[in-house]
Amino acid sequence: MKNLTIDDYYEAFGRLLLEDKVYLDPDLSFHLLCKWLGADEKQLDARVQDELGVTGSALMRQYRAQEPGRLREKYAYLFDENQ
């Protein structure tokens, strides 16, 4: 098995959020995601905080909260009364 660094886990976490949108699963917590990745939760959380200024859990909540607005904006043309 490959020895992964916290940098590797941080990159994987970012890709899972940005590319795979794992935050859309309401049952997936930062804790469970770390467990699934095999990452040390405290180390990854500290890295996220150092880089982004929020905890891993807070970052996932922020992505979840922004998703409805992103979708409304993306599909606004469907609901524009002026068309």
Q: Report the alpha-carbon distance of residue 68 to residue 29 in Å, rounded.
A: 19
| pLDDT one-digit tens code per residue, 6-28 | 999 999 999 999 999 999 999 99
Q: Assess contact for 71 and 25: CB atoms under 8 A.
A: no
pLDDT at position 29 is 97
What pTM, to 2 d.p., does this model score? 0.81
How would residue 77 be classed by pLDDT, with cut points 50, 70 and 90?
confident
Q: What is the DSSP letter of 76?
A: G
Q: What is the pLDDT of residues 25-62, one digit of tens each?
A: 999 999 999 999 999 999 999 999 999 999 999 999 99
